[in-house]
Amino acid sequence: MTGSVPVVGKAVLGPEGYFEAMESPVEHSVGFLNIYSSDPDAYGLRVVGNSMNPRIKNNEFVLVEPSKNYVAGDEVLVKTTKGRAMIKEFIYYRDGQYRFDSVNADCDPIFIHEDEVAAVQYVGAIVKSARFTAVS
């Protein structure tokens, strides 16, 4: 199977692992990832920065599949109601609270109340930059 997934922005990682969600409509994509996804709502983000090293390196991409389910141990894109976003490992949801672990082992777990979470979306793949095609 072949496919292409629009890259709709970038995740410029900040000092605490947060980034501003830099998404735009698919019609305004900056390019495409040459990868198949069965999720019709799938999109890509370019990761800028090294705070997720060694798992995700500077200028690699993440394939986000918002229509897919996730389970404990999966990497997810977490969007908060305050407009922040982060890529973390989903650990659990219990008693109205989420627990996420950082990709970077030096960081403590993060606990977020469900009222502060706008979305949790499955990260289906980390994609090398060679699979990116820019729109001219």
**Domain coordinates in residue numbering, the chain:** 5-134
Whether 24 shows a pLDDT value over 60: the answer reads no
Do residues 116 and 78 make contact, with C-beta atoms less than 8 angstroms apart? Answer: no
Measure the CA–CA gap between 86 and 19, rounded to whole angstroms: 6
Query: What is the per-residue DSSP string for 121-135?
Result: EEEEEEE-GGGEEE-
Give the tens place of pLDDT for each residue, 78-105.
999 988 888 889 999 999 999 998 877 7
Mean pLDDT of the chain: 85
Averaged over 60-84, what is the pLDDT? 93
Give the tens place of pLDDT for each residue, 54-64.
788 889 999 99
pLDDT above 70 as % of the chain: 84
pTM over 0.85: yes
> What pLDDT band is residue 114 in, cutting at 50, 70 and 90?
very high
Query: What per-residue confidence (pLDDT) applies to 13?
Result: 67
Give the tens place of pLDDT for each residue, 28-53.
578 999 999 999 999 999 888 776 77
Which class is domain 5-134? mainly beta
Do residues 84 and 20 make contact, with C-beta atoms less than 8 angstroms apart? Answer: yes
Query: What per-residue confidence (pLDDT) applies to 11?
Result: 78
